[in-house]
Structure 1
Amino acid sequence: MKSDHLKETSLRYFLEVARCGSINGASERLCVATSAISRQISGLENALDVQLFERRPRGMVLSAAGEMLATHARRAALEADRVVLDILALQGFHKGHVSLACTEGFAINFLPGLVIDFQEKYPGIHFTLQVSGPAHVSEMVRTGDADIGMTFNRLAQKDIKVEHRQPAPVMVIMRPDHALAKSKSIRLSQLAAHALALPTPESSLRQLFDVACSRSGLLIEPRVTSNCATALHRFVLSGGILSLAGEVSVRNYVAEGTMVAVPLQDKMLEGRNIELQTLVGRTLPGVVKTFLSYVKGRLGEAEI
């Protein structure tokens, strides 16, 4: 049984055009003739007596009325998906799908391990994991491209329900043989004397760090800068270099004894939280709710 059977054709085509930004793009994704999609869009516009898209030289953009309809259509599509998944769940979670979006740190070893453990109990459940920046993670939840978003966040997000939030203090990560490895905590000023590998300036963690340094009158230049958290971790593991991370992002390394994570003391670095996000007003399928509870429990194992 497919949830498409429970969705109106016109709304499916409308959503795909909104997603792709063009009728040609929607045609390719849906394997439907452009003329058929155009007729459905025109039918909706005639029925509502509004223009749903602004036709531009480089594509189609939703009008104000189109944005309203898209919000309704996405929720209707998600509800259809939920009904189908819950019907399948009557067979005991033998089949189902969970779509996840997260920032890179969670994708390195935390979420993959959870998914594997979950699938050992429910082998018929399939997962999609997309990795992106914090803002895009929330956007994927808003548009229904992800059932659950996992990200670091400091501000409230429109149409986002926070299912779980917990503090995510900034940790200094290093090899166990580093001079600072036995410290109970590390002051910001102590980092100036050591080689650092830091995220690039667009990272929220790097932005917090730079603001904290500026307000403390410190000028700390990293020896290495990268937009890849995995690469930063490898720099730490390969030599006597320090980096910054959240506890969850490096939990497995710490458990294995290959890395040490020490809290970084500075009030400017407080207020950073891990959030599990879903769409406001959406009724989650049973399998998604079950996995969400599982993630909450595993997050709670953090030693903060």
Structure 2
Amino acid sequence: MRGSLVPASLRYADQVARSGSIQKAAKELNVAASAIDRQILLLEEDLGVELFERLPRGMRLTAAGDALITLARRWKSDERRAVTEIRQLQGVHQGHMRLVAMDSHANGFLPQFIEKLAVQHPRISLAVEIASPDDALTMLMSGEADIIAAFNLSPRRDVHVLWSAELPFGCVVAPGHELSKVATTSLQEAVHYPIALQSRALFIRRYLDARYSWLFNDPQKAVVTNSLQLVKNLARSGRYIAFTSELDAAPEIIAGSLLFRPVRDKGAEPQTVGLAIDAKKPLSRVGRIVGDLLKSELEICLRSVRQISEVSTRLDDRATGPPTKGRRNS
């Protein structure tokens, strides 16, 4: 399609909202700044409201502007879906999908998924955004994402979960760490070791804070970071343990640099990983292709991790007794 069915004025306003200024939007769109400014002024005149606050360092959406931009993005999403469906009627598996995934997926199953999609369906283009679970849901509901792969999706009427799997709650440790000698651990045992903690932006930390805040009574025994990669590197050092899922640490578990140890406490609830779409929008044929391939890669990844963990558990059965409490690796 040569042009867009969405009016230029709305597309310009959307880019200004994303860029934060008319000048930056003009560079992104390769359109004169005066043309963008004129279109926004005409929109404001037609609607009788200001869409942006003009600030010394840029433009900020008003409440009315936010409502209009939400509508514009929904129209753009609907337009892409309509074009995809028209091409599918012509017998062509061609289209564009916007996927939002988690940080831990970037060096996990995502590279394999992207490679397979490119080989098997070269006419399907893909945009991948990395975000937190909360932001992923927001993007899905605003029309900025077509499908999300996220942890701990809560039941919602406006979200349709295509697939989900439980992830046992546990921790990862380096080979040679005292907890590596046992098949499972308890929170009482784990608290004796330094902990690498993820920030409160993630569900697993909020869950620990709500249910097991006593784990953090000694702040000197914990390092807190918003970087999952740093958390895993600290665990790989052999000194720290890290509470996370087997999927978060899949590449390291498969490589043998980390071991996953489930927490056996009765109240320890499993996490989940799921694929979801907007329940109000039908899944296109291209969307189904992408969703099925995502599901397949996630299942392959989890199967690989769990096979390795089973082998590790059988070896751990030969170990002699639980680790000595209070003792730390240097």
Instruction: Please state which band the TM-score falls in when normalised by the shorter chain.
Output: 0.7 to 0.9
Matched with 1:17 is: 16
Does the Cα contact within 8 Å between 1:52 and 1:63 map onto a contact in 2? yes
Q: Partner of 1:186: helix, strand, or coil? A: coil
Q: Partner of 2:40: helix, strand, or coil? A: helix
CA distance in 1, matches of 2:224, 2:50: 47
Unaligned ranges ≥5, structure 1: none
Matched with 2:325 is: none
Mapped pair 1:288 → 2:296: no
Does the Cα contact within 8 Å between 2:80 and 2:96 map onto a contact in 1? no
CA distance in 2, matches of 1:177, 1:253: 15
Mapped pair 1:197 → 2:200: no
Matched with 1:171 is: 170
CA distance in 2, matches of 1:19, 1:216: 41
Matched with 1:234 is: 233
CA distance in 1, matches of 2:143, 2:262: 36
Matched with 1:262 is: 261
Question: What are the within-5 Å matches in structure 2 for residues 19-98 of structure 1?
Answer: 19-89=18-88, 90-93=90-93, 95-98=94-97
Quote how far apart the aligned CAs of 1:10 are.
1.8
Matched with 2:245 is: 246
Note the aligned Cα RMSD (angstroms).
3.3
CA distance in 1, matches of 2:123, 2:227: 32
Once the two structures are overlaid, the 10-residue window that deviates more, 214-223 or 180-189, is: 214-223
Q: Across the two proteins, how many residue pairs are aligned to each other? A: 302
Change (3 A) 1:217 1:233: closer
CA distance in 2, matches of 1:8, 1:48: 15
Q: Which has the larger radius of gyration?
A: 2
Once the two structures are overlaid, the 10-residue window that deviates more, 43-52 or 112-121, is: 43-52
**TM-score, normalised on structure 1?**
0.81
Once the two structures are overlaid, the 10-residue window that deviates more, 268-277 or 116-125, is: 268-277
Amino acid at match of 1:81: R
Quote how far apart the aligned CAs of 1:7 are.
2.2
Q: What are the superposed Cα offsets for residues 104-149 of structure 1, whole Å, 9 maximum, x if unpaired? A: 1122212222222333322333333222333333333344443222
CA distance in 1, matches of 2:37, 2:287: 35
Does the Cα contact within 8 Å between 1:101 and 1:130 map onto a contact in 2? yes
Matched with 2:108 is: 109
CA distance in 1, matches of 2:265, 2:46: 58
CA distance in 2, matches of 1:281, 1:132: 22
Quote how far apart the aligned CAs of 1:77 are.
0.6
CA distance in 2, matches of 1:206, 1:105: 15
Does the Cα contact within 8 Å between 1:209 and 1:269 map onto a contact in 2? no
Quote how far apart the aligned CAs of 1:206 are.
2.7
Q: Partner of 1:99: helix, strand, or coil? A: strand
CA distance in 1, matches of 2:143, 2:190: 42
Percent identical residues: 30
Does the Cα contact within 8 Å between 1:171 and 1:262 map onto a contact in 2? yes
Once the two structures are overlaid, the 10-residue window that deviates more, 187-196 or 144-153, is: 144-153
Change (3 A) 1:65 1:164: farther
Q: Partner of 2:206: helix, strand, or coil? A: helix
Question: What are the within-5 Å matches in structure 2 for residues 86-235 of structure 1?
Answer: 86-89=85-88, 90-93=90-93, 95-153=94-152, 155=154, 161-181=160-180, 183-214=182-213, 219=218, 221-222=220-221, 224-235=223-234
Quote how far apart the aligned CAs of 1:20 are.
2.6
Quote how far apart the aligned CAs of 1:223 are.
5.4
Q: Partner of 1:5: helix, strand, or coil? A: coil
Once the two structures are overlaid, the 10-residue window that deviates more, 156-165 or 207-216, is: 156-165
Does the Cα contact within 8 Å between 2:236 and 2:258 map onto a contact in 1? yes
Amino acid at match of 2:129: Q
CA distance in 1, matches of 2:58, 2:282: 33
Amino acid at match of 1:196: I
Once the two structures are overlaid, the 10-residue window that deviates more, 149-158 or 257-266, is: 149-158
